[in-house]
Amino acid sequence: MLKDITIHLIDREGISHTLSAPLDMQLNLMEICKAHELPVEGTCGGMAMCASCQCYIESSHSILERSADEEAMLSEAFYVKDNSRLGCQIQMSNAIDGLIVRLAPSE
């Protein structure tokens, strides 16, 4: 079995949560947040269509670049910054072990 990775997630109140995330379940960051009952809606189910999973990447991990769909949704999202990403488009992998992310404000 693959070892879980760790994600440091800062919620909208500024509280930091250390989340352990399995690598063998094909989960993305939005789903990891939901699994830990954090306030991420994931309204579109992870299709880059709602931006309710927007977050800011605060560590220097190299993550797969934004896809065209993610770029398009972010261009219609609010509170977007250079380090904005859609959590549902970030798959769990060893490359993001120790990632630090902050939830964007809810709309």
Residues that bind ligand FAD (CB under 6 A): 44-45, 47
- What span, in angstroms and rounded, lies between the C-alpha atoms of 94 and 71? 24
What is the DSSP code (8-state) at residue 12? T
Comparison of 9 and 52: residue with beta carbon closer to ligand FES: 52
* Residue 48, number of CB atoms within 10 A of its CB: 19
Comparison of 3 and 71: residue with beta carbon closer to ligand FES: 71
- The minimum distance between CB 49 and ligand FAD, in angstroms, equals 6
Stretch that binds ligand FES, among 14-22, 51-59, 61-69, 95-103 (CB under 6 A): 51-59
Question: 89: which 2 tokens?
Answer: 């488009």
